[in-house]
Chains A and B, each alone.
Chain A
Amino acid sequence: GAGVSQSPSNKVTEKGKDVELRCDPISGHTALYWYRQSLGQGLEFLIYFQGNSAPDKSGLPSDRFSAERTGGSVSTLTIQRTQQEDSAVYLCASSLSAGSSGNTIYFGEGSWLTVV
């Protein structure tokens, strides 16, 4: 697609429920990233995928968070047993690759998650 596409754009869920957030990166981009942004704050790295390599999950805040990327394209971020502190904007980004320093990452519009 023309840009990074995320869905849903907004999600309200009850505490304890599981949620899935979807990201469709820019066509041809092999690197995909998930970031989290709490209200009025900066960007927190969560996880990174590059091609068929094992993902870097070093930023995931707990084992309730997981992500997968199928076929090297679409990615799903899953949050199990959601807590109120999970409320944030979840931003997906992609880049051509991560091997070169110069590959800028491009962001989607984010999925706004509210846990009530």
Chain B
Amino acid sequence: GESVGLHLPTLSVQEGDNSIINCAYSNSASDYFIWYKQESGKGPQFIIDIRSNMDKRQGQRVTVLLNKTVKHLSLQIAATQPGDSAVYFCAEKGGGFKTIFGAGTRLFVKA
């Protein structure tokens, strides 16, 4: 089956700092992108999404940036809080049914 099974990269930030989590996606035909947050022992939760006709989208304390030229997606978290500690997954969708997930990044927030 399709596998995204890699040991997760880790990002450690100080509480109050901004966090940037990066993701490289694989399919140039993908036109919809999503970020998910997964806390320990829970299922992934939707954070924010962006369509390919946009470069940037802002939510509450989060911003997603899309660079289609280099197939790169980033999630910026402003004023990172201890509750932001989790694994963050990017996902892409290309008009078909399948949502393909990246390997994930573990975010540690130091108090």
- Measured CB to CB, the residues of A under 8 A from B are 4, 31, 33, 35-36, 38, 40-46, 48, 50, 56, 58-61, 91, 93, 98, 101-102, 104-110
A33 to B103, CA, bound (A): 18
Report yes or no: B46 in contact with A58, Cβ–Cβ below 8 A.
no
Residue of A nearest to B93 (CB): A101
Considering the chains assembled together, what is the distance between the CA atoms of A59 and B99 in angstroms? 12
Are A61 and B44 neighbours in the complex by a CB distance under 8 Å? no
Q: Are A110 and B43 in contact (CB under 8 A)?
A: yes
How far apart sit A101 and B8, CA to CA, in the bound complex (Å)? 27
Cα–Cα, bound, A58→B31 (Å): 22
Task: Establish whether residues B94 and A101, one from each chain, have CB atoms under 8 Å apart when the complex forms.
Answer: yes
- Interfacial chain A residues near B32, Cβ < 8 Å: 101-102
Across the interface, B89 reaches (CB within 8 A) one of A42, A61, A101, A104, namely A42
Please name the 6 residue pairs, one residue from A and one from B, whose CB atoms are nearest each other, closest first: A98-B97, A42-B4, A107-B43, A59-B1, A101-B32, A43-B101
B:38-54 near A, CB below 8 Å: 41-46, 49, 51
Contact A109 B42 (CB under 8 A): yes
The residues of A that contact B7 with a CB separation of less than 8 Å are 40-41
> Which residue from B1, B36, B41 sits with its C-beta under 8 Å from A44?
B1
In the complex, which residues of chain A have a beta carbon less than 8 angstroms from the beta carbon of B36?
A: 107
Q: Closest CB of chain B to A115's CB: distance in Å?
A: 17
- Whether B98 contacts A61 by the Cβ 8 Å rule is no
Neighbour of B46 across the interface among A56, A102, A104, CB < 8 A: A104
